[in-house]
């Protein structure tokens, strides 16, 4: 019976951290830089927008319309982990690379963030 219970418990837990494979020159953001995301909206090149609001509120607005809501937290490994209201969880790592801000997802895919106006 224990053999059945343990796998079910593990499957029910959200994945909150990944094994980040950084490329040469990628430098993870510091905790202070991540905390400075509060109140900011980051826009990606597909026009999707991540909004990091007060007290851990998060929303992602898709380029074609529609918004997913949830909460975020900064994990001990320096990633930002999001728990969406619809049940999906993910962690992303932000890095500086060549003067750009890049989001790396748990699959290792990289998404550059557009520079903010006036930057």
Write down the pTM of the prediction. Answer: 0.82
Residue 25 resides in a domain: yes
Residue 118 resides in a domain: no
| Domain span including residue 103 | 2-113
CB 83 within 8 A of CB 69: no
Residue 62 resides in a domain: yes
| Domain at 34, CATH number | 2.40.128
Question: Which contacts (CB < 8 Å, 24+ apart) does range 22-30 have?
Answer: 22/95, 22/104, 23/97, 25/97, 25/98, 26/95, 26/96, 26/97, 26/102, 26/104, 27/95, 27/96, 27/97, 28/78, 28/93, 28/94, 28/95, 29/78, 29/94, 29/95, 29/96, 29/101, 30/78
Print pLDDT tens along the chain (119 aa).
444 433 333 333 344 446 799 999 999 999 999 999 999 999 999 999 999 999 999 999 999 999 999 999 999 999 999 999 999 999 999 999 999 999 999 999 999 999 987 65
In Å, what is the CA distance from 89 to each residue of 24, 34, 71? 28, 18, 10
Query: For the chain, how many structural domains are there in total?
Result: 1
**Could you give the CA distance from residue 78 to residue 34 in angstroms, rounded to a whole number?**
8
**Could you give the CA distance from residue 93 to residue 74 in angstroms, rounded to a whole number?**
10
Residue 69 resides in a domain: yes
């Amino acid at each position: 019976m224990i053999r059945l219970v343990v796998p079910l418990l593990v499957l029910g837990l959200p994945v909150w951290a990944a094994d980040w494979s950084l490329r040469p020159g990628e430098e993870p953001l510091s905790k202070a830089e991540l905390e400075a995301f509060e109140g900011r909206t980051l826009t990606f090149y597909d026009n999707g927008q991540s909004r990091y609001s007060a007290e851990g509120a998060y929303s992602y607005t898709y380029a074609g319309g529609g918004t997913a809501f949830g909460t975020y937290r900064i994990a001990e490994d320096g990633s930002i982990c999001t728990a969406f209201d619809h049940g999906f969880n993910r962690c992303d790592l932000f890095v500086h690379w060549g003067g750009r801000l890049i989001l790396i997802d748990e699959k290792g895919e990289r998404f550059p963030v557009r520079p903010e106006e006036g930057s």
